[in-house]
A and B are shown apart, each in its own frame.
Chain A
Amino acid sequence: MTQLALVIDLNVCVGCSACVTSCKEWNTSGESGGGMSDKNPYGKDPTGTFFNRVQTFEVGEYPKVETVHFPKSCLHCEDPPCVPVCPTGASYKRKEDGIVLVDYDKCIGCKYCSWACPYGAREIDEKQKVMKKCTLCVDRIYDMSLPEERRKPSCVLACPTSARLFGDVHDPDSEVSTAIAERGGYQLMPEWGTRPSNHYLPRRKTKAHVTEEALHRIDNPLKKEEQRTPVSSDLPTLDDFLF
């Protein structure tokens, strides 16, 4: 059974928010229609609907501190808690590819699904009053008129550092499964048993090891700079005394 998902590489995410706005521009004109509303677009406290945001965390204390940029969108849980609570069936998980979707025509905007999501992945469109969330760009990943390599979610195509991988996490040979296996991909809040399909790849440190020996080498170029002061042959030497 296919389970499409994103794998996000925190090791290379620089927090540029490319995924945030490419998502917005694709989906606001997306097939499901209705747009993604923005409140106070040019006024006080602008706030609109986004499916994906990049957050920033500081880990540790100066000077041993890491700045972690952390993109977050719907994790398309294998056992999505938001689905069974929906009273109308608007929130559903597709059997064929595991994408969790909202049928905007059925949603009554009760927000109950958002309460039932521990990740804060759902956002209500405050103008249209229906719940919205990441669709994994379901309206482009199957679009046969696109070349195959462009049949990916908009955020994945946008990401300049290729920090976002997309594929079937149930296929053990897929790029995403390989990355999860090789790079220690993990799920968010595993304690709830939601089994998110999206995974994150952790930071990885490349360290340098400078050994003492590396500084003492026969080919040290300074040796070439030693000036040989010519020594006069007339000075006394042992040769003058030894038998």
Chain B
Amino acid sequence: MTTQTNQATEIKSTTCYMCACRCGINVHLKNGEVKYIEGNPDHPLNKGVICAKGSSGIMKQYSPARLTTPLRRKANATRGEGQFEPISWEEAFDTLETRLKHIRATDPKKFGLFTGRDQMQALTGLFAKQFGTPNYAAHGGFCSVNMAAGMIYTIGGSFWEFGGPDLHHAKLFVMIGTAEDHHSNPLKIELGEFKRNGGRMIAINPVRTGYAAVADEWIPIRPGTDGALLLAITREIIEQGLYDRDFVVNYTNGPELVNMDPKSSEYGMFLRFEVPLEEGCFDPQNKLWWDRDLNKPISTHTPGADPFLIGEFKLKDGTPVKPSFQLLRERVEAYTPEWAEGITGIPAATIKRLAHEMGITARDQKIELPIAWTDVWGNEHESVTGNPVAFHAMRGLAAHSNGFQSIRALSILMSLLGTIDRPGGFRHKAPYPRPIPPCPKTPTSPDDVKPNTPLEGMPLGWPADPDDLFVDEKGEPVRIDKGFSWEYPLSVHGLMHNVITNAWRGDPYKLDTLLIFMANMAWNSSMNTTEVRKMLADKDETGEYKIPFLVVCDAFHSEMTAFADLILPDTTYLERYDVMSMLDRPISEYDGPVDSVRIPILPPTGDCKPFQEVLIELATRMKFPAFVDGEGKRKFRDYPDFIINFETAPGSGIGFLSGWRGQSGEKTMRGAPNPNQWEQYAKNNCMHHHVMPKSYQYMRNWNMGYLQWAKANGMTRHAEPINIHLYSEVLHKFRRAAQGVSHGKQPPERLRKRVERFFDALPFYYEPLENEMINKNDFPLSALTQRPMAMYHSWDSQNAWLRQIHAHNYLHMHPSVGEKYGFEDGDWVWAESVHGRVRCQARYSQSVEPNTVWTWNAIGKASGAWGLEKDANECQRGFLLNHLIGEELPNQPQGQHYSNSDPLTGQAAWFDVRVKVYKADKKEQGSTFPQFPTQPRYPGMAKPVGKWQTFIGGSGLFKNRFKGGK
């Protein structure tokens, strides 16, 4: 039988955006309507596969939750009521232009731009910088900044966009605290291959869902104790001699000597034998080893030298010194498996076995690939070797207030096993590896924020020492979120989760206009959601809103939109241009840089406008230097034009897209703007993949060929080795400042102890901060969220197909919890934390650690939001755990406010929350708590769909859904 009739009339390629994974898709169209979305077989990321969300993109495109016209809050309506009137884009632009111009001309920091899970941070960041406001960040602070910072400050790269496990070569794969929504399809593809090849997979997680389901072994762990486990494993690895000595010696700072003279101002710093000729954001090779044969200090990487890793030595001048590996060994001495058992709940014997398995697999199953390469010291290697133990980790480690140090411990463990950028271990993706820390820096003084002037520095950066902090002369924060201040010095992704609270309180100051792009801050993107909703609508004595003007850009009827003064309707991903740029978070593969684009498949619905166009229009109207020419005339026609023609500096040849640069598209990575660049991408599956020579694909921290190539192509400034920081001198510099030892910026008195405690050059375990501030016996259980693979954040409850899979959520727990606290499977229960309580239904499960309760993230919705009917399961039986989680630490002394975050990075510690669970009264049953007044539909939204919906692509019924909705 042959059929042709099912063929769509047209197939177009673009890039998916049902999650942040960014797979290539082929979209089938019939009569201008989407009929079928399939994975693009020619795309390197997903190789033709597609996930549950990707296939349901149709239901997002035609979701009745879509906003189709700019909306202004009705004059007599209160924020949060959701009463809007449609306005034109011209009115919207005029309103914004007037308001923002005034702010920019007076006090630019009164404008804040914060964005959610978007993929255009290079542009939004540029907009903020050009505006001159420091108050910019994306969602990373409450997502997984600990993972990025912890790893980048240790190995110069991190999981997900910038690196990952090489499951193609690995033999043992350890997944610890992983969120299933990150790097979804590529990881699934690799997991399938890995398991089919007989690889062994161990999942360490309090809950066995998702990928952990197919693990060969599940090791349940108490939340927030991963650091203890990793340190105990590290101890066992060292004590048994299971580390890769050769790797540690050559590629880490393990053998480098540290000054151990407590009287010296250089105590804790590496010994340096000379001042480097060139200063830059790289590690100068001017440190010392203690040579085994000569038994004296010797310049690192001296040919033929073989340093001690363990021991203590005295310099000629009597200065005691130790290799930093020795310090690491001393640090983990106390972290015995028995000690860790009491904390993690994992038997000591299991911890030892894990360590032995990792170490022996790494040692005895070495991989050798016949790839010749040259290291940065000029040594030629005939092959690339690797130790096939791979790890993957995400928010289970990151979203704790001890996450940064836990992730440092993980990175160090991975390094001791000799698995960094080697086959079978961790592999970087371009533009990583980058220097430790990477070069970009924020401004360092309030004076860097000036009216009508772009910001002096990047809105987000990578502090390398205290002088890089963005604080005033008293050491107090300049940013609204207190990022890069002494409270959260390494908050490299900002602290979006504290912006509303800080702005509401006026601490450190008040904002005038807050522009939020696709972040649901009135719901699942905020902690302490109930109170944050009140803050958004709170007024001062004069009757003015405490956050005076709130602009929300979103494609959908989220909870946040109800609080907007002005709503800007964004398009869907099928209706716009986008770039997954090398300047941002590209989709690179291990074998070389890849970037990609979206190209509109459909025209915008109604009066939707891509947010990028909004930014470019506003930037042009406000005459930002990068967006107008010398005469103040518009430089870029629109976003596609901007993408083609923008260069990081005039003539730099570096722009948003790396492929088909140069006048005729003949250049890669670097080259003049190419007017036909979009067409080239369109012709090539909407992506550009530069496969590097094999000899550049491994050991990139130290690979001369690669580093020089990266330098030549503008990916790094220096072709210098990026040695792994087992011992982080960067962290120690902050401690020195806190101790008053160093010159330069000093923390305010109230923060000295805090900085001194947490800025430890070596990883250490401490209990999550909230635990120290509550009575743990009152709240005996940890509460977590997990990510269902068929949903992305809050995005998909509006999706008629996906919401059938996850219509509401339960609180999952081991049956012993119910037995102990007096309720049964299916009962309505209260879960209460120190911050508040929610009512929900208990659901027993055997696959959860008994001290943990968990639920799916962001399934619960406010009544009426996301275009749902008011009695939808999402609001009646769904609930949001965020109501239980503080955005600030509890029980602080009067007037003091600390973010409920990691004290190093400001990573929101939403996995720290502890609860008690008890049965709800008879009369409290039947719906979840809290409930909020039903959010109305807005003008321009589609009419209620009603009881039935039958989608048939090409029928035309769906694309016309929004017509006449106004």
Contact = CB atoms under 8 A, between A and B. Distances in A.
A28 B952 contact: yes
Given A149-B41, A222-B241, A227 B191 contact: no
Given A48-B801, A48-B804, A29 B952 contact: yes
Interface residues of A, number: 83
A207 B202 CA distance: 10
A185 interface: no
B353 A37 contact: no
Nearest to A138: B1
Nearest to B5: A31
Given A37-B948, A44-B869, A221-B243, A25 B58 contact: yes
A139 to B, nearest CB: 5
A205 B191 contact: no
A158 B188 contact: no
B3 interface: yes
Interface stretch (B98-106, B210-218, B399-407, B657-665): B210-218
Contacts of B873: 44-46
A221 B241 contact: yes
Contacts of B208: 65, 67
A196 B241 CA distance: 54
Contacts of A14: 180, 188, 191, 210-211, 213-214, 789
Contact of A161 (B7, B189, B845): B189
A65 B180 CA distance: 20
A7 interface: no
A217 B241 CA distance: 9
A12 B801 contact: no
Contact of A37 (B7, B949, B954): B949
A58 interface: yes
Chain A interface, DSSP helix/strand/loop, else mixed: loop
A160 B51 contact: yes
Contact of A41 (B41, B196, B800): B800
Contacts of A142: 1-3
Interface in B822-864: 845-850
A25 B948 CA distance: 17
Interface string A62-96: 11011111000000000000000000000000001
B774 interface: no
Interface in B270-295: 292
Contacts of A198: none
Given A26-B36, A208-B361, A20 B52 contact: yes
Contacts of B604: none
Contacts of A16: 51-52, 180, 184, 188, 210, 789-790
B50 A46 contact: no
A43 B6 contact: no
Contacts of B50: 18, 22, 157-158, 160
Nearest to A37: B950
Contacts of B951: 28-29, 35-36, 38
Interface string B872-886: 110010000000000
Contacts of A208: 172, 200, 357, 361
A46 B804 contact: yes
B245 interface: yes
A235 B814 CA distance: 69
B546 interface: no
B55 A22 contact: yes
Interface residues of B, number: 102
Interface in B48-95: 48-56, 58, 64
A182 to B, nearest CB: 11
A150 interface: yes
Contact of B214 (A12, A41, A62): A12
A106 interface: no
Interface string B341-364: 000000000000100110011001
Nearest to B244: A221
A150 B39 CA distance: 11
A11 B850 contact: no
Nearest to A43: B869
A141 to B, nearest CB: 9
Which among A154, A158, A163 has the highest number of chain B CB atoms within 10 Å? A158
B950 A36 contact: yes
A229 B46 CA distance: 59
Contacts of A48: 800-801, 804, 949
Nearest to A97: B1
Contacts of B848: 62
A139 B6 contact: yes
B802 interface: yes
A150 B26 CA distance: 13
Nearest to B213: A67
Contacts of A145: 4, 7
A202 interface: no
Interface string A201-227: 001111110100011010011111101
Contacts of B39: 157-158
Which among B180, B214, B871, B945 has the highest number of chain A CB atoms within 10 Å? B214
B37 interface: yes
Interface in A109-139: 127-128, 138-139
Nearest to B240: A215
A150 B214 contact: no
Nearest to A35: B950
Contacts of B790: 16-17, 20-21
A64 to B, nearest CB: 9
A109 to B, nearest CB: 16
Given A14-B191, A18-B51, A43-B868, A160 B4 contact: no
B55 A21 contact: yes
B847 A214 contact: no
Contacts of A18: 49-52, 54-55
Contact of B308 (A33, A38, A225): A225
Contacts of A66: 213
B334 interface: no
Interface string A155-174: 00111111100000000000
B777 to A, nearest CB: 23
Given A12-B195, A224-B292, A65 B56 contact: no
Contacts of A161: 188-189, 191-192, 195
B198 interface: yes
A62 B847 contact: yes
A239 to B, nearest CB: 26
Given A17-B789, A21-B801, 15 more contacts: A12-B195, A14-B211, A24-B801, A25-B953, A28-B953, A31-B5, A38-B801, A38-B950, A48-B949, A142-B1, A157-B38, A159-B49, A160-B189, A161-B191, A206-B200
9 contacts: A16-B790, A22-B38, A41-B800, A42-B869, A44-B873, A140-B6, A143-B6, A144-B2, A227-B311
Interface of B: 1-7, 30, 35-39, 41, 46, 48-56, 58, 64, 172, 180, 184-185, 188-189, 191-193, 195-196, 198-201, 208-214, 216, 218, 220, 240-243, 245, 292, 306, 308-311, 353, 356-357, 360-361, 364, 789-790, 798, 800-805, 807, 814, 845-850, 867-869, 871-873, 876, 944-945, 947-954
Interface of A: 11-18, 20-22, 24-26, 28-31, 33-48, 50, 56, 58, 60-63, 65-69, 96, 127-128, 138-140, 142-145, 149-150, 154, 157-163, 203-208, 210, 214-215, 217, 220-225, 227
7 tightest Cβ-Cβ pairs between the two chains A and B: A161-B192, A160-B188, A221-B245, A35-B950, A41-B800, A225-B310, A67-B213
